Amino acid sequence: MKTFMTSLAACMMLAAVGTFAQNPNGQFGIGLTLGSGAGAQLTYAINSNFHIGARLGFQSTSVSGESQSQLLFGPFFRYLLSTGGVTPYLYGEFEYSSVSSGGASESTTGLLLGGGVAYYWNASFGIRGEIHLLSLGLDPSSTTFAITPARIGVDWFFGR
């Protein structure tokens, strides 16, 4: 019975927090994305349903004297399908990636299309998770349909 009461109290608190939730609107934000293509990102919420931005990631590794570095740049958009609370969204990104290893360099470009779910506690702070459903490689040419890779992230919007 004690577990039931604790669960009921937690659900009531989440419902109360959800009543104050609202999507960012007319604000700039910074964020961090983890998972495939991890990096920092800048976002502008044009309105409460449409966000644009860019993700920038850098990784450098060295194993047994062999070093490798990778640079990612990805302008993106999000179209949020509702406002406030748990918000599903559609996602699109143009991705440029450059990998350097042992003096050789290789770059790729592509389009990523997918969706996700975001939750904004208020107009300043939120969390999100997304998956890429379709990856269209432009250079080199390729097409991938899958429910991976997945990313999670946090966003902090300011300016209101």
Tell me if 38 sits within 8 A of 156, measured CB to CB: no
Amino acid at position 158, single letter: F
State the pairing for strand pair 85-101/104-120: antiparallel
Average confidence (pLDDT) over 31-41: 91
CA distance 146 to 134: 7
* Confidence label for 49 from pLDDT (cuts 50, 70 and 90): very high
**Terminal C-alpha separation, the chain:** 44
pLDDT for res 153: 96
Q: How many CB atoms lie within 10 A of CB 138?
A: 13
Is it the case that residue 93 has pLDDT exceeding 90? Answer: yes
Provide the CB-side half-sphere exposure for 9 (13 A, CA): 6
pLDDT for res 2: 47
Between 149 and 131, residue with greater pLDDT = 131
The CATH number of the domain where 132 resides is what? 2.40.160.20
Host domain of residue 104: 2-158
Is it the case that residue 39 has pLDDT exceeding 70? Answer: yes
Total domain count for the chain?
A: 1
Provide the CB-side half-sphere exposure for 96 (13 A, CA): 4
CA distances to 17, 139, 155 from 109, rounded to whole Å, are: 41, 5, 25
Average confidence (pLDDT) over 44-57: 95
Is it the case that residue 8 has pLDDT exceeding 90? Answer: no
Each residue's pLDDT tens digit, 113-144: 999 999 998 889 999 999 989 999 998 899 98
